[in-house]
Amino acid sequence: MWFEDAALLSRILTAMTLSFHILYATIGVGIPLMILIAHWVGIKKNDEHYILLARRWARGFVITVAVGVVTGTAIGLQLSLLWPNFMQLAGNVIALPLFMEVFAFFFEAIFLGIYLYTWDRFEDQRKHLLLLIPVALGAAASSVFITIVNAFMNAPQGFDILNGELVNVSPLLAMFSPAVPTKVAHVMATAFMTSAFVLASIAALRIVQGSKHIYHKKALLLTMKLGFVFSIATALIGDFSGKYLAEYQPEKLAAAEWHFETEGEADLILFGVLDGDEPKYAIRIPFALSILAHGTPGAEVTGLNEFPEDEIPPLWIHYLFDLMVTIGMWLAFFSAVYVLGAWRKWPIIQKKWFRWLTVAAGPLALIAIEAGWWFTEVGRQPWILRGYMKTSEAATTSGQVDLMIILFAGLYFILGVGTIVVLSRMYKRNPVEKELAQREKADKGGGTE
């Protein structure tokens, strides 16, 4: 063992697993909806291109689902392996949504298998489309349930502690903690937004690479429209999340905003670096923090100085918060320009540099997802269960966590590289032009395959 701090090592391993998993999980939640929409538009417009879009997305989706499933299994077990004391407590209070998440996942797995293997099997395309609804619902539901578990860790309720023992446990009350509405809504909206931008990136990349096919243009416009809608939703819900934090977890908001003194008419601090207790080189937006926190410019915002020193989160979460918000704002603005430009036929959106910006949208959204989760998770330190259990009390006592970090780092490296290699091979070997030509030929020959 490098050093004796099993809690720190457990944190590193958990952070590594989750950071890797959420990339796939986010896509896993969002893409079924995108496939559903494309498939539906295809049927409605009777346009072969959209159907093919759904089909090709679905094919790539399987690869990301596979990695999502196995890394999800990993984090599921790691919770008990690395945080046995926490899971012992959580098992008593919050097992219900964990259990329900597995059901949702089960449901999704069954119908995804069916959807993937019944293309052209039904005469009526709409029947096949129906199979996708449980997939999208299952994916969304499992994200709802697992986010509920996370919300509980941020705002525990539904139990009492009497002489160190848990009493009066109410599973439903624990499930519907005050953090649930904003958290669940934010997770869903960002998952849809990110998936839309990731798919937009792929279409834009094909155009940049020189493909002139109308298929990519249709794909790009559809996904950018969806990305725009969901990024607006994300921004709105983000504002509610700020109000939630001010009310229930003021230390997180204060640390994110480097807000030390409790005061009214609080400034919002954008960017900057911290020099002791003084933010430097920052842009201050007057009243904005008060508005974010309570909706009025004069409202008083609780500062960090109100909290005991060993109960405040690290101050570097400010950078994560800024990164997340900045990317979110940029993507909302950028997709608005794109959609407007496509509608008004602005030549700018055809420019190569603009296309490259579009290519960047997907990776940017993924970075924002990472930053957002890091912010929310590091922002509740030192607690694993805010107000009840500190992270250091929850960790395993096992001495082998360091070796496991190396083991899993190797695994995630292989899975990450594998995903990229397999996906790019899959689409390069079978470009859309080739597939369309094949399908036309098959249609003329009278066959369906």
Partner 1 sequence: MTLEIIGISVLWLFLFLYVIVASIDFGAGFFNAYSAFTNKQHILTGIIQRYLSPVWEVTNVFFVFFFVGIIGFFPQTAFYYGTTLLVPASIALVLLAVRGSYYAFATYGAKINHRGYIYMYGLSGLLLPASLSPVLAMSEGGFIKMDGAQPYLDYWALFTSPLMWSIVVLSIAAVLYISAVFLTWYANKAGDVKATELMRKYALIWAGPAIITATGIIYELRSHTPEHFARIMDLWWVFAISFLLFVGTVYLIWKKKNYGWAFILLVGQFFTAFFAYGASHYPYLLYPYLTIYDSFTNESMAIALIIAFIAGLGLLLPSLYLLFRLFLFDKDYVKGKSDYHA
Nearer residue to partner 1 within complex by CB, 309 or 449:
449
Shortest CB 127 distance to partner 1, Å: 12
CA distances from residue 321 to 47, 234, 264, 414 in whole angstroms, order as listed: 42, 14, 21, 30
Shortest CB 197 distance to partner 1, Å: 23
CA distances from residue 444 to 376, 438, 439, 449 in whole angstroms, order as listed: 56, 10, 9, 11
Shortest CB 334 distance to partner 1, Å: 31
Nearer residue to partner 1 within complex by CB, 285 or 407:
407
Nearer residue to partner 1 within complex by CB, 7 or 401:
401
Nearer residue to partner 1 within complex by CB, 52 or 256:
52
User: DSSP of 348-381, one letter per residue?
Assistant: GGGSHHHHHHHHHHHHHHHHHHHHHHHHHHHTTT
Residues in Cβ contact with 70 at an 8 Å cutoff, skipping those fewer than 6 apart:
415
Contact 192, 28 (CB under 8 A): no
The residue assigned the tokens 């690290």 is 314
Shortest CB 239 distance to partner 1, Å: 33
Range 103-106 contact pairs with CB under 8 angstroms and sequence separation of 24 or more: 104/138, 104/139, 104/141, 104/142, 104/144, 104/145, 105/72, 105/138, 105/142, 106/138
Nearer residue to partner 1 within complex by CB, 90 or 191:
90
Nearer residue to partner 1 within complex by CB, 124 or 449:
449
H/E element, 397: none
User: DSSP of 302-337, one letter per residue?
Assistant: --GGGS-GGGS--TTHHHHHHHHHHHHHHHHHHHHH
Shortest CB 50 distance to partner 1, Å: 15
Shortest CB 445 distance to partner 1, Å: 16
Of residues 24, 100, 101, 117, the one with CA closest to residue 66:
24
Residues in Cβ contact with 446 at an 8 Å cutoff, skipping those fewer than 6 apart:
none
Shortest CB 219 distance to partner 1, Å: 17
The burial of 262, by beta-carbon neighbours within 10 Å (0-12 exposed, 13-18 middle, 19 or more buried), is given as middle
Nearer residue to partner 1 within complex by CB, 299 or 422:
422
Nearer residue to partner 1 within complex by CB, 110 or 342:
110
Nearer residue to partner 1 within complex by CB, 161 or 283:
161
- Secondary structure, 3-state, 146-191: HHHHHHHHHCCCCCEEECCEEECCCHHHHHCCCCHHHHHHHHHHHH
Shortest CB 112 distance to partner 1, Å: 7
Shortest CB 329 distance to partner 1, Å: 35
Shortest CB 391 distance to partner 1, Å: 16
Nearer residue to partner 1 within complex by CB, 2 or 117:
117
Shortest CB 6 distance to partner 1, Å: 10
CA gap 292, 240 in Å, rounded: 8
What's CA 88's distance to the chain center, in Å? 27
User: DSSP of 401-438, one letter per residue?
Assistant: HHHHHHHHHHHHHHHHHHHHHHHHHHHHHS-HHHHHHH
Given CA atoms 156, 162, 166, 170 in this order, what sign does their dihedral have?
A: negative
Backbone angles phi, psi at 279, to 5 degrees: -70, 130
